[in-house]
Chain A
Amino acid sequence: MNITRRTFLGTAAALPALAQARPKRVAIITTIFRLQSHGQHIGDRFIVGYPFAGEWHKPDTQVVSLYVDQKPAGDLSEARAKEFGFKVYPTIAETVCCGGSKLAVDAVLIIGEHGDYPHNEKGQVLYPRFEFFEQVAKVFESEGRSVPVYNDKHLSYSFEKAKRMRDTSHRLKFPMLAGSSLPVTWRLPDLELPLGCEIEDALMVGCGGSDAMDFHALEAMQCMLERRKGGESGVKSVQLIEGDDVWKDARWSKEMLRSALSRSDNLKGATVTDGRTQDMVGTGVLPGLVKNPWAYFIEYRDGTKATMLMLSDAVGDFTFAVKLKGKPIQSTQFFLSPDPNVTYSACLAHKIEQMIMTGNAPYPVERTLLVSGMLESCLDSRVKGHVKMDTPHLAVTYQAPRESQYCRI
């Protein structure tokens, strides 16, 4: 057949799927899909696009199916499906198979945050991320084929379950990305630790309750610490203490705290009363201001030590200070942009998209695995009377990516 330009165009028009690569098909598996829930604001990035690098970026993806575990008042799942031409399926298996009998998507987003789920005695919300993941993996296994999976936030409240998830991703050889937006959002200032640096001390300051916001703070801290010399070695022991004992403990440094708090734009106390700036460490107001401080002490297997302080009555943002060998203390703020846009989730969406498009996770899931375990063990420490917990199971080793992964464009 003599192919002229006209016949070629005609053929291409008739067979668009062959003429160009089709968008990657995405399934979203979520607890709830309500305005400002993670399911909605991360999911929508793949439906309506998101701001990135000065453009409204439309990923080359198509959300083709959605599973929602709970439909509380304000549920948007059916409205979204109708408007954007996909279906809400009653089971996870049907969702990843788009109602058929075979895996029918190129990527799966598991967003198990928000919704009405029970708490355990440690205060953890029992979000069914592991259970969602298992059902997805079951389809992969029976199919003999897997696709990339993103898991929002920690893998599971249980390290054992989290580890099974990571192990399954290795066994079935699919890329897996997980975690918080904090490691990938903008930093004020733009501070990155050089790969292979020697860390003498590290302090993270966060706010909000457990086990939602402490996970974010621990993961922000971990994305800095993992760049140290020798790579990530895993965690040897953890301890969580609270109340006045926090102020008396010598394991964290006041100078480091002053440095972290100098990065806060959200001091409470007298700032709220009359607008003044405050040197909260210098004036000594913290013990009177913070009713119930929590300190999370992390001791790594290579001897590195780090502390995370939850000071909700004193601050409303997430800041970090670090002392590298031979350098003065450095610090930064992990910038959480305001509601409703929460543009930091666009930074995360970009990383998820990168995995979907390239088939490689931009940073190791072991980071989130380790933080999932750190958090669980810290909460174990608390319920056992704030004792130090040895954590031989947290010998999670990995190497941080050479390239910085946070948003700076």
Chain B
Amino acid sequence: MAGNRPKLAAITTVYRKMAHTQHIVDRYLEGYGWNGTHHHPEMDLIALYVDQVGADDLSRDRAARFPAMKIYPTIAEALTCGTGKLAVDGVVVVGEHGDYPKTPKGQVQYPRYRFFEEIAAVFRASGRSVPMFNDKHLSWNWEWAKKMYDTSKEMGFAYMAGSSLPVTWRIPSVEFPDGAKVSEALCICYGGVDSYDFHGLETIQGMVERRQGGESGVKWLQAYRGDKFWEACRENVWPRNLMNTALCRSHTLTPARAGFNDIFPSLDDMRTLVRDPVAYRYEHNDGLKCTMMLMGGLVRDFNFAATLEGASKPFSTQAYLPMPDGRTTLADFFNPLSNNMEKMFLSGKPTIPIERTLLTTGLTAAGVDSLYAGQVRIETPHLAIKYQPAKESTFWRT
């Protein structure tokens, strides 16, 4: 690519310390640790749009320190660099964080769909489209997410999205066996609804999509919260042995008893520690059942366990996030995410199928809907999303 470095535009909500934009865009400007050196992406981020500029904004500081990156007042101007025609070779959309209204169901209305539509309008007007990455789920609104997906297919540009969880370190460093037969999979993690639930769902999906037959889509989902969550635990609605296994992968198990630093909790202990437990239980079209569990107060990490046919014990690992909430200073799980984006911008091919994130976007919305409707089972015929992941692993191991 010598002499022909791709040019990128970043379209973002807010650029402040610890916002996803800071983590992602900084990695293009400053470089990041990769493969045992300080890696500078072989591309130039030359245009930036920031939707909200607050007192804690860093975009002006970054533009001053990296003059090759210009800030534009509109998305269209950022993409055209003021020329009237698409002037970049790739687009990074980071619509996470910032001050946006919530829906009656509690979803933050991050403007990812609006950003996408404005970008697609520039593509159309220019008669040309370029690869795009969308941070996190496509949209809080399923119809919009589906439209974003359909538009990317119609226009034929490389489109990739999602969470860092599927691409970060695993402890231990193991891959979900290609073509495995799996009956149950579960992730115990933390955080809130329409937020970290998406990360938990992506943790699961980045594993189970490798199962025999590939992804078949999801037919129903039911959410459990509060008393109904504990009732479901007691009645073994999801497998207790997988819960125990996942918890044994955690490095952040809150000690249930004073005077102990690391002690396995009973169900009663968990009930004391976890104020607002949430689970999304769902069944894939091929019969696989999955459970995503938010158990803030008990853990602060993402722990996966699954029952594989023919294995004497569950498959399990932790998707490890170096988390700058006091544990680290750098959110280095953005290193592998940035690196996967870079690969797409250089090759024109996504390393991860967009269908994964389309499915997890739909699951997140279905989870919210189930909770809003009183924790009822929601049929999800619209999530009959089929795809086959690449054989090559995309998680961080070098």
Residues of A within 8 A of B (CB): 35-36, 40-41, 44-45, 48-52, 54-56, 76, 79-80, 186, 188-190, 258-259, 261-268, 271-272, 274-279, 281-282, 316-317, 321, 328-331, 335, 337-343, 346, 407-409
* Residues of the B chain whose Cβ atoms lie less than 8 Å from the Cβ of A272: 329
* Residues of the A chain whose Cβ atoms lie less than 8 Å from the Cβ of B328: 265-266, 316-317
- On whether the beta carbons of B262 and A343 are closer than 8 Å, the reply is yes
- On whether the beta carbons of B22 and A341 are closer than 8 Å, the reply is no
CB A42 to nearest CB in B, in angstroms, measures: 10
Q: Is B36 an interface residue (CB 8 A)?
A: yes
Contact of A44 among B252, B261, B316 (CB under 8 A): B261
- On whether the beta carbons of A340 and B261 are closer than 8 Å, the reply is yes
Interface size class, chain B = 35 or more
- On whether the beta carbons of A41 and B261 are closer than 8 Å, the reply is yes
With A274-B17, A279-B31 as known contacts, state yes or no: A76 contacts B259, CB within 8 Å. Answer: yes
- On whether the beta carbons of A265 and B329 are closer than 8 Å, the reply is yes
State which residues 303-344 of B face A: CB under 8 Å: 305, 313-314, 316-317, 320, 322, 324, 327-332
* Residues of the A chain whose Cβ atoms lie less than 8 Å from the Cβ of B313: 54-55
| New A-B pairs, 10, CB < 8 Å, besides A49-B264, A54-B305 | A41-B261, A44-B262, A48-B263, A51-B247, A51-B248, A258-B37, A275-B324, A279-B38, A329-B37, A340-B261
Contact of B36 among A278, A329, A339, A407 (CB under 8 A): A329
- On whether the beta carbons of B322 and A265 are closer than 8 Å, the reply is yes
* Residues of the A chain whose Cβ atoms lie less than 8 Å from the Cβ of B169: 188-189
Bound CA span A165–B81, Å:
72
- On whether the beta carbons of B330 and A277 are closer than 8 Å, the reply is yes
- On whether the beta carbons of B36 and A331 are closer than 8 Å, the reply is yes
* Residues of the A chain whose Cβ atoms lie less than 8 Å from the Cβ of B398: 189
With A48-B263, A338-B327, A343-B251 as known contacts, state yes or no: A277 contacts B30, CB within 8 Å. Answer: yes
* Residues of the A chain whose Cβ atoms lie less than 8 Å from the Cβ of B33: 261-264, 277
* Residues of the A chain whose Cβ atoms lie less than 8 Å from the Cβ of B177: none
Closest chain A residue, CB of each to CB of B397: A189
Bound CA span A44–B263, Å:
9
CB A57 to nearest CB in B, in angstroms, measures: 8
* Residues of the A chain whose Cβ atoms lie less than 8 Å from the Cβ of B18: 275
Closest chain A residue, CB of each to CB of B65: A276
CB B340 to nearest CB in A, in angstroms, measures: 16
Contact of A278 among B17, B30, B320 (CB under 8 A): B30
State which residues 173-228 of B face A: CB under 8 Å: 173
- On whether the beta carbons of B259 and A275 are closer than 8 Å, the reply is no
Contact of B261 among A263, A282, A341 (CB under 8 A): A341
Q: Is B112 an interface residue (CB 8 A)?
A: no
* Residues of the A chain whose Cβ atoms lie less than 8 Å from the Cβ of B249: 51, 54
- On whether the beta carbons of A186 and B36 are closer than 8 Å, the reply is no
- On whether the beta carbons of A274 and B260 are closer than 8 Å, the reply is no
- On whether the beta carbons of B173 and A408 are closer than 8 Å, the reply is yes
CB B3 to nearest CB in A, in angstroms, measures: 23
Bound CA span A54–B243, Å:
10
* Residues of the A chain whose Cβ atoms lie less than 8 Å from the Cβ of B330: 264-267, 271, 275, 277
Q: Is B34 an interface residue (CB 8 A)?
A: yes
- On whether the beta carbons of B36 and A259 are closer than 8 Å, the reply is yes
Q: Is B245 an interface residue (CB 8 A)?
A: yes
- On whether the beta carbons of B261 and A54 are closer than 8 Å, the reply is no
Q: List 26 A-B contacts (CB under 8 A).
A: A35-B259, A35-B260, A35-B261, A48-B263, A49-B264, A51-B253, A56-B244, A76-B259, A80-B259, A186-B171, A188-B171, A188-B320, A189-B396, A259-B36, A262-B39, A264-B330, A265-B330, A266-B328, A266-B329, A276-B26, A277-B32, A277-B33, A277-B330, A338-B252, A338-B327, A409-B172
Most chain B Cβ neighbours within 10 Å, of A35, A76, A343: A343
**B interface majority secondary structure:** loop
Contact of B248 among A54, A274, A278 (CB under 8 A): A54
Contact of A275 among B17, B34, B173 (CB under 8 A): B17
Q: Is B233 an interface residue (CB 8 A)?
A: no
Bound CA span A186–B173, Å:
9
With A51-B249, A55-B248, A267-B330 as known contacts, state yes or no: A262 contacts B264, CB within 8 Å. Answer: no
With A262-B33, A262-B34, A338-B252 as known contacts, state yes or no: A277 contacts B27, CB within 8 Å. Answer: yes
Closest 8 CB pairs between A and B? A262-B33, A265-B322, A279-B38, A54-B316, A337-B251, A265-B328, A340-B261, A51-B248
* Residues of the B chain whose Cβ atoms lie less than 8 Å from the Cβ of A265: 322, 328-330, 332
Closest chain B residue, CB of each to CB of A79: B259
* Residues of the B chain whose Cβ atoms lie less than 8 Å from the Cβ of A267: 329-330
* Residues of the A chain whose Cβ atoms lie less than 8 Å from the Cβ of B98: none
With A268-B329, A271-B330, A277-B31 as known contacts, state yes or no: A258 contacts B38, CB within 8 Å. Answer: yes
CB A313 to nearest CB in B, in angstroms, measures: 13
CB A342 to nearest CB in B, in angstroms, measures: 7
Closest chain B residue, CB of each to CB of A255: B37
* Residues of the B chain whose Cβ atoms lie less than 8 Å from the Cβ of A408: 172-173
Closest chain B residue, CB of each to CB of A186: B171
* Residues of the B chain whose Cβ atoms lie less than 8 Å from the Cβ of A50: 262
* Residues of the B chain whose Cβ atoms lie less than 8 Å from the Cβ of A55: 244-245, 248, 313
* Residues of the B chain whose Cβ atoms lie less than 8 Å from the Cβ of A41: 261-262
* Residues of the B chain whose Cβ atoms lie less than 8 Å from the Cβ of A339: 261
CB B86 to nearest CB in A, in angstroms, measures: 29
CB A264 to nearest CB in B, in angstroms, measures: 7
CB B247 to nearest CB in A, in angstroms, measures: 8
* Residues of the B chain whose Cβ atoms lie less than 8 Å from the Cβ of A51: 247-250, 253, 262, 264
Q: Is B297 an interface residue (CB 8 A)?
A: no
Closest chain B residue, CB of each to CB of A315: B329
* Residues of the A chain whose Cβ atoms lie less than 8 Å from the Cβ of B252: 338, 341
CB B290 to nearest CB in A, in angstroms, measures: 18
CB A238 to nearest CB in B, in angstroms, measures: 27
Bound CA span A54–B248, Å:
5
Bound CA span A262–B324, Å:
16
Most chain A Cβ neighbours within 10 Å, of B169, B259, B261, B320: B261
CB A166 to nearest CB in B, in angstroms, measures: 31
Q: Is B58 an interface residue (CB 8 A)?
A: yes
Closest chain A residue, CB of each to CB of B300: A338
CB A379 to nearest CB in B, in angstroms, measures: 29
Bound CA span A338–B23, Å:
22
Q: Is B61 an interface residue (CB 8 A)?
A: yes
Q: Is B255 an interface residue (CB 8 A)?
A: yes
State which residues 235-293 of B face A: CB under 8 Å: 244-245, 247-253, 255, 259-264
- On whether the beta carbons of B245 and A54 are closer than 8 Å, the reply is yes
* Residues of the A chain whose Cβ atoms lie less than 8 Å from the Cβ of B327: 338
Bound CA span A277–B333, Å:
12
